């Protein structure tokens, strides 16, 4: 199984809503990532979890709250988002942390904030 799955595929939410994005992998990978990708732009790193601990937070606003309940799951909790937060949110995982390990991406969640 070399797949990273993400749910939901699409999400529309209002600025006062609370929602969560979910990511799952069963490859035994110990590092997991959240990226944000706007149209015609490259993916931008948001968070890195290594061995279930947050290791990198790229100065992301607190309205985005990551959570890693176990080594296979990664959540992104959303609250009080702005329309400019509309984007494709990508989850990725790699065998271990560190530069030499390729990251495998999920298909993404297309988020629209109204």
Partner 1 sequence: DQQVKQNSPSLSVQEGRISILNCDYTNSMFDYFLWYKKYPAEGPTFLISISSIKDKNEDGRFTVFLNKSAKHLSLHIVPSQPGDSAVYFCATNQGGSEKLVFGKGTKLTVNP
Residues near partner 1 (CB under 8 A) = 4, 6, 31, 33, 40-45, 48, 50, 55-56, 58, 90-92, 94, 97-108
10's tokens: 């699409």
Say how far apart CA 101 and CA 22 lie, in whole Å.
Answer: 22
Say how far apart CA 47 and CA 72 lie, in whole Å.
Answer: 16
Shorter beta-carbon distance to partner 1: residue 108 or 113: 108
Q: How far is the CB of 12 from partner 1 (least distance, A)?
A: 16
Shorter beta-carbon distance to partner 1: residue 20 or 50: 50
For residue 51, CA distances in Å to 16, 18, 94 come to: 32, 27, 11
Q: How far is the CB of 75 from partner 1 (least distance, A)?
A: 17
């Amino acid at each position: 199984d070399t797949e990273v799955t993400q749910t939901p595929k699409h999400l529309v939410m209002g600025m006062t809503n609370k929602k969560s994005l979910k990511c799952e992998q069963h490859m035994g990978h110990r590092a997991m990532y959240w990226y944000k990708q706007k149209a015609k732009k490259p993916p931008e790193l948001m968070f890195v979890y290594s061995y279930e601990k947050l290791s990198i937070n790229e100065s992301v606003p607190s309205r985005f709250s990551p959570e890693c309940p176990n080594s296979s799951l990664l959540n992104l909790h959303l609250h009080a988002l702005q329309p400019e937060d509309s984007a494709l949110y990508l989850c990725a995982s790699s065998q271990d942390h560190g530069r030499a390990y390729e990251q495998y991406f999920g298909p993404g969640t297309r988020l629209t904030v109204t």
